[in-house]
Every structure is written in C-alpha cells, then in structure tokens.
Structure 1
Amino acid sequence: MNHEDVLKALSHPVRLKFLIWLKDPENHFCGQEHPFSMGVCARQFEVSGLSQSTVSTHLATLQAAELIKSRKVGQWIFYERNEETIAAFQQYLNENL
C-alpha cells in the first residue's frame, strides 16, 4: 500500500462517499439482482448522478490505491471495500499522526 495514493484517493469527496457507501451497501444501493456479498455492481453507482466515465475514473483511483477490490462476473464488474488496506492505513495514521 502506498500511503500517498491512499491519501490522494480519499481527498476527493466523491471517492470518499463511494467508500462510505460500500461499507453499508444495503442502505445506499437498491435494485441489485445479485447479493451484496458479491460486491456492488458498477451500474449501481449511477445513484451518484455522475456519468459512467466519471464513476469509472473514481473507482479506478480507489482500486489503484488498493482501497477497493473488483471482480468480474459475466459482463458485470462488482466492487467491494478492501478492509485489509483500510485497516492497515488506519493503523499507519494512528502510529504516525
């Protein structure tokens, strides 16, 4: 994990919102055919009101920082939080700030 990449990813309000939404997907996304245990389908992020390309860019930044993971199921991509990276970053902050 690169701490600077994580800070950069968290510095944008939309990316931070996406990460918060992924913590409790049942309360932020609806109408998903697959169980949330698979992750949240990329199309669900349309609830943000942003274009598909903007959503994809934000998700890619979060993924590059290792804050989220993705998996492809058929034609769909599902996203979930990477709790290991989040916990490691929280520990880093606790120890260094």
Structure 2
Amino acid sequence: MDIERSISALNNPMRRRILEWLKDRSNFPPALPGHEDLEGVCVAYIQEKAKLSQSTISNYMGLLKQAGFVKAERHGQWTFYRRDEENIQAFLAAVKDELLKT
C-alpha cells in the first residue's frame, strides 16, 4: 500500500465525493439494459453526476484506481467502477498504524 499515493488521490473534494457516491448504487440512474447484472457504475453516470468533462473524470478515476480505492471492469465500450472495500480498509488501517505507532 502506497500511503502517499492514496492520500494524494483523496486530496480532492470531488474524488472523495465520488467514493462516497459509489457506496450506494442508488445514487446513480438505473443500469442500461444488458448491464443490470454488472457490478459498479458506468463512468458516464459518474461524469454526469459530477458535471465534469470526460477527460477529468477519466483522470480522477484513474487516480482512484491506482490508489486502490476503486476497481474498474470494462464491458464493450463502457467502463464500470466500484469501490474496493478491502483496499479502503487496508488504507485506513495503514494510516492508523502510522499515525498511532509508538
């Protein structure tokens, strides 16, 4: 776990908000036909909700993925993102350990 990379990824209010939104799929429109069984949220829905350009959202999601906060799954032309709860917990534990070690 690269704590510096993770903290850097969280050093933006919109990236933190995206992680918050991804906690609950109902924060986004229903999945398109044929995508109902897929985990995660289409990047287009994230872009729409954030009201940011496609390139900015792609950059943000790439940073969150590199930091281990989200997983990406490609289906045709669509990329679906979901939180990586295990890595989020590992990050929190690592920060706690670093800040509280004696």
Same fold (TM over 0.5): yes
In the alignment, which residue of structure 2 is the partner of 1:32? 31
Q: 1:31 to 1:15 in 2, by over 3 A?
A: same
Please identify runs of 4+ aligned residues in structure 1 that moved more than 6 A. Answer: none
Q: Report the secondary structure of 1:23's partner residue.
A: coil
**Which sections of structure 1, spanning at least 5 residues, go unmatched?**
none
Give aligned pairs, total. Answer: 96
Structure 2 length-normalised TM: 0.86
Shift of 1:36: 7.1
User: Highest CA radius of gyration, 1 or 2?
Assistant: 2
* Secondary structure in structure 2 of the residue aligned to 1:84: helix
Identity of aligned residues (%): 40
> Separation in 1 of the partners of 2:36 and 2:4?
33
C-alpha separation between the residues in 2 aligned to 1:36 and 1:89? Answer: 29
Report the 3-state secondary structure (helix = DSSP H, G, I; strand = E; otherwise coil) of the residue aligned with 2:73.
strand
Deviation string 1:18-47 (CA, Å, 9 cap, x unpaired) is 111111121x11132223752100110111
Higher fraction of helix = 1
How does the TM-score come out when normalised to structure 1?
0.90
Looking at structure 2, the residues matched to 30 and 95 of structure 1 have their Cα atoms a distance apart, in angstroms, of 38
